[in-house]
Amino acid sequence: MERLPGFRDFYPEPLPANEPWSCDLRNHIFARWRETARRYGFREYDGPPLEPLELYTNKSGAEIVAQLFNFVDKGERAVSLRPEMTPTVARMVATAERAYKKPIKWFSFPQLFRYEKPQKGRLREHFQLNCDLFGEADPGADAEIVALLIDVLRSLGLTSEDFVIRLSSRQAWQRFFAARGGDPARAYEFYQVVDKIERERPEVSAEKLQALGVSLTDVQEFIRASVPEPELQVVLDNLGARGLGAFVAVDYGVIRGLAYYTGIVFEAFDRKGKFRAIAGGGRYDQLVHQVSEGKVNLPALGFGMGDVVLAELLKERNLVPSFAGAVEVVVLIEDETLRADSLRLVQQVREAGTAVEFTLVATKGDKQFKRALELGARQTLRVERSAEGTVAVRIKNLRTREEQVVPFDQVIAALAGAA
Amino acid sequence: MERLPGFRDFYPEPLPANEPWSCDLRNHIFARWRETARRYGFREYDGPPLEPLELYTNKSGAEIVAQLFNFVDKGERAVSLRPEMTPTVARMVATAERAYKKPIKWFSFPQLFRYEKPQKGRLREHFQLNCDLFGEADPGADAEIVALLIDVLRSLGLTSEDFVIRLSSRQAWQRFFAARGGDPARAYEFYQVVDKIERERPEVSAEKLQALGVSLTDVQEFIRASVPEPELQVVLDNLGARGLGAFVAVDYGVIRGLAYYTGIVFEAFDRKGKFRAIAGGGRYDQLVHQVSEGKVNLPALGFGMGDVVLAELLKERNLVPSFAGAVEVVVLIEDETLRADSLRLVQQVREAGTAVEFTLVATKGDKQFKRALELGARQTLRVERSAEGTVAVRIKNLRTREEQVVPFDQVIAALAGAA
């Protein structure tokens, strides 16, 4: 029985052949995500992986259903595995915003699901860090979110030589479109054409733009120049004051596909251009109002960062740490009459917070020692009985091969001193 | 738009009214689960939340489908949200066991899904710690798993006055049934009657047992005496050597409902008997063989512990820690001409690993200070410009109200000294 296509098993390291997804690397990424969000004062939340289908069709239209894992449950409810987190967090904030001081700064890293053709860097599920800020319309909030995105990537060892945040503005494009007599009702249609320009043949883009009353040359020139409009200059200045100027560049080629963005938008890319976008986000000031059916009105912005492209980038840049040494101490049991004392020792060392392994059954001593080396343990411990019948513990440092024998009740202190 | 019945939103503390599920408490439980498993040398894995439906019907029969969130996906595959983790981990181990030294000791805390009538302590989803050990038939492995279960609960502050592990044995019941002439083919049927004895009317149990050739009185007497059979005595002795004897008691009233258990079984209960089982598990030596269609044969055992009953128990015993003080430092900006310098300060303190908040827009100084107190911050920092135009930083300790002014480039050192 195999797993479903597009889904992943995460194995502990060292990884089996043909199983590329490491639970250790995943957890390393999760830990950096959580720790960086914490430093920025963001608080963690989570929502259900299964939601009413309407939550997504209301926001993105019925055409999104083709990409969903949706079904009718046993209570006749139309439901869907969550394809993104923003509708869920907008619902949660709309429900409970009165309990929180503004701005609300929240993060989560849900697993998300899309029924898509599986391909490199694009599976049917991924984990996505979502950081969102609610209740602040000032561009200072946009700068805070972009700074967090930069520091999340830096926390994984990536530098300004590895990635850049391409910063753009829906308002800038709105003004561009209006200045050329574009029909405001067709603005989103226009954004979608711009969004596809880098991927589509020029003739196709040109024809679509012409139908909207805009020339491809004009659009290309606006992107090429990418002159910072005032709303972007404020964000650039703010990031500059933080010393993060080298991580960001204005690029109107970024516009984002989703309908709900209303202001600044941005994407993180590796500088070599080898991967898909690492992360993307922007301002969506109307979404809470829409999801709450007009009850709550809060400006909002945020970003999402998936684990798949990120893991591939970290591997390519040799930024995956070693996960050896999860076991710190191995207790050797070479004399089965000392098993009870050895078990007592195992328990004591574990209670002191140390990761301990030992053989569950009678095993040759050299085999146990070899296993300790394979595990990358720091020390081995061995209970020894003196001539008088008291028990002591021999501690061996596996790096230096130094040994010492200490009374049983002094093991924890001796290990703490040696560590 | 509301969330689906039986599903939870996890909010950051302080919690809104009518939203009882704290993401902070959930993460506290997750952290203790992970840390304790690590001390026992268990390694983390994860699998897909969506699996082929067959993975569950092969193991538990077609009747399980009534309790599943199952559907047919857009590729015509019969699939199901995972109702338990054991089939997934058995599949993963069967696929990759050759890459790992035995015994394989793995843990995970997946979210699981069952289509059940929502009721207190029983929702349609929960998170469940799963710890499993593969490749060791010796009862030393059973003791290691039970010891881990005990220490997971202890890591959350629970003591031997709060909970007990009720230890039983499928083999003991098998011998009991055989000694009374029971038909071996109907042994599982017999276990299911025993499993329900505590919850069913005596007449009902007696009638069912009679049909199997066993008297209710005999069964009740065997449970009441709960004399340790040899396979349990070994485990008790092992746990005793670890100093964990007070946490465990033989109780043949425990037999576990699932079909796949083959040896020792156990459940963790609160001593006051106020809650459902906190955790349960046992030995399932045939399951890997079955899931791998005969390709791999590994003895195995493990347990599962859900987050719902556990969270309720921790609340009832006042073992939920305070989650205040997530923000450690607040940078006050009372003079907007110092915002750029203040942003530089925020960045520096965050880069040193500290959680920092500051106002994103011009705000009255007393309001900012009040917010710092509400957040439970340790310190406030304020950039000050001297008469000569250089900038310095005023550090205020919010506990002692002591203040000091240090040069900008000495803030990190001063904070490290004060912490």
Rounded Cα distance between A235 and A281, Å, is 14
Q: Which carries the bigger pLDDT value, residue A302 or residue A417?
A: A302
Residues of B in contact with A326 (CB under 8 A): 38, 41, 43
By C-alpha distance, the chain B residue nearest A39 is: B355
Residue B389 within any structural domain of the chain? yes
A333 shares a domain with A308: no
Beta bridge partners of B394: B382, B405
Which pLDDT score is estimated for A234?
A: 97
Whether residues A347 and B14 touch (CB distance < 8 A) is answered with no
* Least trusted range by pLDDT, from A4-13, A112-121, B90-99: A112-121
Domain boundary among B316, B346, B365: B316
CA distances from A91 to A287, A300, B349 (A): 9, 13, 33
pLDDT at A198 over 60: yes
pLDDT at B198: 87
Amino acid A121: pLDDT: 54
Please tell me the distance from the alpha carbon of residue B133 to that of residue B43, in angstroms, as a whole number: 10
Among the candidates A289, A316, A343, a domain finishes at A316
CA distance B403 to B397: 6
pLDDT 10s digits, A130-172: 999 999 999 999 999 999 999 999 999 999 999 999 999 999 9
Question: Which of A292, A316, A340 is the C-terminal boundary of a domain?
Answer: A316
Residues B113 and B169 in one domain: yes
- Kindly state whether residue A6 falls inside one of the protein's structural domains: no
Residues B223 and B358 in one domain: no
pLDDT for residue A325: 80
Q: How confident is the model over B210-253, as pLDDT tens digits?
A: 999 999 999 999 999 999 999 999 999 999 999 999 999 999 99
Comparing A418 with A306, the larger pLDDT belongs to A306
pLDDT over threshold 80, residue B410: yes
Share of chain B above pLDDT 90, in %: 89
Which of A232-236, A288-292, A386-390 comes out lowest in average pLDDT? A386-390
Co-location of B199 and B265 in the same domain: yes
Question: Are the C-beta atoms of B276 and B254 separated by less than 8 Å?
Answer: no
- Is residue B16 domain-resident? no
Across the interface, which of A11, A43, A88 has its CB nearest the CB of B92?
A: A11
At residue A122, the pLDDT reads 65
* pLDDT at residue B38, rounded to an integer: 97
Contact A356 B40 (CB under 8 A): yes
User: Is B33 among the domain residues?
Assistant: yes
Provide the 10 A C-beta neighbour count for residue A219. Answer: 23
Predicted local distance difference test score (pLDDT) of residue B329: 97
Domain assignment present for A134: yes
In a domain, A11, yes or no: no
Give the structural domain span for B289: 23-316
Q: Which of residues 33-62 of A touch B (CB under 8 A)?
A: 38-41, 43-52, 54-55, 58
Mean pLDDT of B310-327: 94
Residue B396, φ and ψ in degrees, nearest 5 = -115, 125
**Could you tell me if A223 and A301 lie in one domain?**
yes
ipTM: 0.95
Q: Is residue A13 part of a domain?
A: no
At residue A211 the predicted structure's pLDDT band, cuts being 50, 70 and 90, is very high
Q: Give the rounded percent of residues in chain A with a pLDDT score beyond 70.
A: 98
Report the gap between the CA of A6 and the closest CA in chain B (Å).
10
Examine residue A103 and say whether the peptide bond preceding it is cis (omega within 30 degrees of 0).
Answer: yes
- Give the span between the Cα atoms of A182 and A187, in whole angstroms: 7
pLDDT digits (tens, 9 = 90+) for B2-40: 899 999 999 999 999 999 999 999 999 999 999 999 999
Residues B42 and B187 in one domain: yes
Q: pLDDT class for B419, splitting at 50, 70, 90?
A: low
B288 and A CB contact within 8 Å: no
Residues A274 and A309 in one domain: yes
Give residue B122's pLDDT: 66
The answer on B353 and B278 residing in a single domain is no
Which of B45, B66, B374 is opposite residue A11, by nearest beta carbon?
B45
Distance from CA of A360 to the nearest CA of B (A): 5
Q: How confident is the model at residue A120 (pLDDT cuts 50, 70, 90)?
A: low
Q: Within this chain, do residues A130 and A219 fall inside the same structural domain, yes or no? A: yes
Residue A359's CATH number: 3.40.50.800
| Residue B152, amino acid | V
CA B412 to chain centre: 37
Say if residue B121's pLDDT is above 60: no
Q: Are residue A185 and residue A265 in the same domain, yes or no?
A: yes
Same domain, A114 and A80: yes
Contact pairs from chain A to chain B, CB under 8 Å: 236
Tens digit of pLDDT for each residue in A227-285? 999 999 999 999 999 999 999 999 999 999 877 899 999 999 999 999 989 999 999 99
Element (H, E) at A238: helix A230-241
Task: Record the tokens describing residue B261, joined without a space.
Answer: 């258990």
Residue given tokens 């995105």 in the structure block: A149
Strands (E), A284-408: 300-306, 329-332, 356-358, 379-385, 391-397, 403-407
Is the confidence at residue A59, as pLDDT, over 90? Answer: no
What backbone phi and psi angles, to 5 degrees, belong to A41? 75, 15
Average pLDDT (A336-353) is 97
B3, B96, B339 ranked by CB distance to A11: nearest: B96
Instruction: Count how many domains chain B has.
Output: 2
Question: Model confidence at B140, in pLDDT bands (50, 70, 90)?
Answer: very high
For A94, name the nearest residue in chain B, comparing CA atoms only.
Answer: B1
- Where residue B171 falls among pLDDT bands split at 50, 70, 90? very high
Residues B334 and B312 grouped into a single domain: no
Element (H, E) at B95: helix B86-96
Which pLDDT tens digit goes with each residue over B386-399? 888 889 999 999 99
Q: Does residue A398 surpass a pLDDT of 60?
A: yes
In a domain, B9, yes or no: no
Measure the CA–CA gap between B44 and A359, rounded to whole angstroms.
Answer: 20
Query: How far is Cα A115 from Cα A124, in angstroms, rounded to an integer?
Result: 6
Which of the two residues, B131 and B64, has the higher pLDDT score?
B131
Q: Dihedral, CA atoms, B128, B300, A382, A402, nearest 10 degrees?
A: -70
* Cβ-defined contact of B356 to A1 (cutoff 8 Å): no
Here the CATH number for the domain that contains residue B307 is 3.30.930.10
Classify B29 as helix, strand or coil: helix
Instruction: Output the average pLDDT for chain B.
Output: 94
pLDDT per residue as tens digits for the range A12-41: 999 999 999 999 999 999 999 999 999 999
Q: How far apart are CA A122 and CA B260, in angstroms?
A: 37
Write down the pLDDT at residue A359: 97
